[in-house]
Amino acid sequence: MKKMIVVTSAAGHTGSIIVDALVKRGLPVIATDLNPTVKQLPGIERAIVGDLTQLDVQLEIISAADILIYIPPLFSSEEALIGNSLIDLAAEAKLQQFIFMSVTHPILSSLLQHTAKRDVEEHLIYTGMRTQLPYTILQPMHYMHNFDPLAVKRSGKYRIFYSLDGAVAYVDPIDVAEVVLNVLAEPAKHNKATYELVGTAPYTPKELVTRFNAVTGEHAVAEYVPVEQFLDDIGAQDLYFRTGFKHLADSYSQWGLDGNVTVLTMLLGRDPTTFEDYLVRTLAK
């Protein structure tokens, strides 16, 4: 019997890409999300619609899983509680594999969503040593889909909430999904490993737009938008969400965010997807 794989936050951008990669590989997937559109993901065995802050939802997820791919909800004030509880339940149920989608440099205290993941990583490592729960921690860099080339082409602007000189590295979520498949294929090889998944050198918003214009022949510009205005424009009302975005704006403006591409290159067995490759693929849709 095939191992059942449960993916959380599966209706999100990264989650849906990972689910698609699993389904195309012929693997059985249960997709779960608070968003009921998770039911529409093609090829899944079934969907679980529910709030990860609720114990009964977590118990349903764990009871359905042989393998859990835990993608945290975006900017949840209860993120650390959610993750730690799922780890405890997974260890008690003796899941065969726990893959945690963390973030590059969770040790950075200037980023709200990083510190929550740091706490979950710590709990997972301690639990793995105590119970021998098999786990792998993946630490993706800033995702390429945060630059939407179709929107930039329509508007002629890349509106961004941090300094136009703040340099941030990127990773293609499709590359991350490929790493997930490789980890699932050889769980013992990747047990208790932590992998930093960085796909590119750091680029400023101005450099991203320059590369976009070189690929497309457009004349788009990068436009700085104060973070409070940006949050108002997207209708963000949740206080934790707004605070997390302010942390991003401050941290990226002061230091940027980068890392090293070597680990991802080794895991893929090829060079990571370039920003230009991502642009061409996305614009061709």
The residues near 104 (Cβ < 8 Å, ≥ 6 apart) are 139, 140, 141, 142, 169, 196, 197, 198, 257, 259
CATH class for the region spanning 5-143+172-197: alpha beta
| Three-class DSSP labels, 57-121 | HHHHHHHHCCEEEECCCCCCCCHHHHHHHHHHHHHHHCCCEEEEECCCCCCCCCCHHHHHHHHHH
Q: 75 vs 45, which has greater pLDDT?
A: 45
Work out the pLDDT band at 3, boundaries 50, 70, 90. confident
Work out the pLDDT band at 285, boundaries 50, 70, 90. confident
Cβ-contact 113, 75 below 8 angstroms: yes
Q: State whether the Cα torsion 275-260-184-52 is positive or negative.
A: negative
Residue 136: the pLDDT is 98
Positions of E strands within the chain: 5-7, 29-33, 46-49, 67-70, 97-101, 135-140, 157-160, 193-197, 221-224
What is the arithmetic mean of pLDDT over 63-89?
96
Work out the pLDDT band at 255, boundaries 50, 70, 90. very high
**Rounded Cα gap, residues 227 and 163, in angstroms:** 10
Residue 45: the pLDDT is 97
What is the arithmetic mean of pLDDT over 23-45?
97
Cβ-contact 103, 75 below 8 angstroms: no
pLDDT in tens, 189-239: 999 999 999 999 999 999 999 999 999 999 999 999 999 999 999 999 999
Residue 172: the pLDDT is 98
**Rounded Cα gap, residues 66 and 97, in angstroms:** 7
Residue 94 Cα to chain centre, angstroms: 25
| Residue 262 Cα distances to 74, 116, 268, angstroms | 27, 26, 10
The residues near 229 (Cβ < 8 Å, ≥ 6 apart) are none
Helix (H) or strand (E) holding 192: none
Work out the pLDDT band at 1, boundaries 50, 70, 90. low
Work out the pLDDT band at 275, boundaries 50, 70, 90. very high
